């Protein structure tokens, strides 16, 4: 249902791996509405032993109870996550602190080997549209200075110095997606986190309706949808609903109905909705 362009995947993967070679710390951004679907299974392998900080963005788009459940889920698997809001800057101070702590460790090792201290090098990576650039801008917003080009593999990359002791790559690393996991792919499409891919809005909107039907907050969400479109969602199968909404509001064009539902979800007009919750991922040890 969701298709990618293979050329894009190969290019993105090459760029990302070059960026990862150049850094000491990886700031991996996930979408708070689907923190596990915005996980790439190969990232731990690509990162190796470098420290990885998990930033769960779009804090404002996830209800507090769901955020708490995810924080517990990650903590149980050994990861203290930081919730961020790229638009407002929440969590950015914490990201600076965590990066500086990695820098302090790195420089302690360098000193022990008789080397001079240097700024810690960081990159922000994540799927398209999860909020990487917004977070980078927020990080850079706190005292930016131009930084000298680095030798070797880092020469072709552009850096900006923040706070005197952190060098941040000024272009985010985009995680390429594989074709396999269609459930994750659908959620990425719902959230618009999919980059160069093709999908049919009416089908993704129907999948969205099916997904929210399975959530604990389903009755409240159904009420909001029914009220918003003046069409009771409980009376229809998901695809039928999108078609009925097309008939009602969009001159019998289901694609436009699908686009409207997705737009309303993405703009919070249907309230904060977390598409996936920890119980679905209990068996996952790797996060
Ligand atoms: N509501 C909300 N919007 C956000 C947040 N973070 C980013 N955005 C918005 O989401 C959109 C995408 O953010 P970007 O920072 O461009 O995302 P990106 O990951 O750099 O996207 P690509 O360049 O496609 O890889 C922008 O309109 C941002 O203003 C957030 O925490 N909450």
Residue 179's pLDDT band (cuts 50, 70, 90): low
Closest CA relative to residue 39, chosen from 222, 286, 280: 286
**Ligand 1 atom nearest 130 alpha carbon:** 19
CB neighbour list of residue 36: distance below 8 Å, 6 or more residues apart? 184, 276, 280, 281, 284, 287
Instruction: Supply the ipTM of this predicted assembly.
Output: 0.98
Helix H or strand E encompassing 52: strand 52-57
Cα of 272 from ligand 1 centre, angstroms: 16
Q: Which residues line ligand 1 (CB under 6 A)?
A: 57-61, 85-87, 126, 128-134, 172, 174
Name which residue sits closest to atom 10 of ligand 1, judged by CA: 131
- The model's pLDDT over 96-152, given as tens digits with 9 standing for 90+, comes to 999 999 999 999 999 999 999 999 999 999 999 999 999 999 998 854 444 444 444
Neighbour-count burial of 14, counting CB atoms closer than 10 A to its CB (0-12 exposed, 13-18 middle, 19+ buried): exposed
Residue 279 CA to residue 153 CA, distance in Å, equals: 42
Tell which phi-psi region holds residue 152, choosing left (phi > 0), alpha (psi between -120 and 50) or beta: left
Question: Angle 89-221-185 (CA atoms, 0-180°, nearest 5)?
Answer: 65
Cα of 269 from ligand 1 centre, angstroms: 17
Residue 50 CA to residue 41 CA, distance in Å, equals: 16
Binding-site sequence positions for GTP: 57-60, 173
Binding-site sequence positions: 57-60, 173
Q: Output the six-digit token pair for 106.
A: 């790195």
The whole-number average pLDDT for the span 80-106 is 95
Neighbour-count burial of 112, counting CB atoms closer than 10 A to its CB (0-12 exposed, 13-18 middle, 19+ buried): exposed
Residue 34 CA to residue 30 CA, distance in Å, equals: 8
Residue 178's pLDDT band (cuts 50, 70, 90): low
Cα of 227 from ligand 1 centre, angstroms: 28
Q: Can you list the domains of the chain with their CATH numbers?
A: 3-174 (3.40.50.300), 200-281 (no CATH)
- The model's pLDDT over 246-286, given as tens digits with 9 standing for 90+, comes to 999 999 999 999 999 999 999 999 999 999 999 999 999 98
Mutate to test the pocket of ligand 1, among 61, 124, 133 (most ligand atoms within 8 A of CB): 133
The whole-number average pLDDT for the span 36-44 is 92
CB neighbour list of residue 262: distance below 8 Å, 6 or more residues apart? 190, 192, 201, 204, 205, 208
Contact 119, 165 (CB under 8 A): yes
């Amino acid at each position: 249902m969701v298709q990618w362009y293979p050329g894009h995947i190969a290019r993105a993967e090459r760029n990302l791996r070059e960026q990862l070679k150049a850094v000491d710390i990886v700031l991996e951004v996930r979408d708070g509405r689907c923190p596990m679907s915005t996980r790439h299974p190969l990232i731990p392998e690509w990162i190796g032993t470098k420290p990885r900080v998990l930033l769960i963005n779009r804090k404002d788009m996830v209800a507090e109870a769901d955020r708490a459940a995810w924080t517990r889920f990650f903590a149980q698997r050994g990861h203290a996550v930081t919730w961020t809001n790229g638009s407002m800057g929440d969590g950015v101070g914490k990201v600076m602190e965590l990066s500086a702590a990695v820098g302090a460790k790195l420089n302690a090792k360098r000193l022990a080997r008789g080397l001079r201290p240097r700024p810690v090098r960081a990159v922000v990576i994540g799927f398209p549209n999860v909020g990487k650039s917004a977070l980078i801008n927020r990080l850079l917003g706190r005292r930016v200075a131009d930084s000298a080009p680095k030798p070797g593999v880092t020469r072709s990359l552009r850096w900006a110095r923040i706070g005197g002791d952190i060098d941040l790559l000024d272009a985010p690393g985009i995680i390429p997606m594989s074709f396999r996991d269609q459930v994750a792919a659908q959620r990425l499409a719902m959230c618009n986190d999919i980059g160069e891919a093709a999908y049919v809005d009416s089908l993704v909107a129907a999948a969205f309706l099916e997904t929210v039907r399975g959530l604990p907050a389903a009755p409240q969400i159904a009420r909001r949808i029914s009220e918003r479109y003046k069409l009771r969602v409980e009376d229809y199968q998901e695809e039928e609903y999108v078609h009925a909404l097309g008939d009602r509001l969009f001159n019998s064009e289901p694609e436009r109905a699908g686009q409207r539902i997705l737009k309303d979800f993405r703009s919070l007009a249907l309230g904060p909705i977390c598409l996936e919750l920890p119980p679905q991922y209990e068996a996952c040890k790797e996060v």
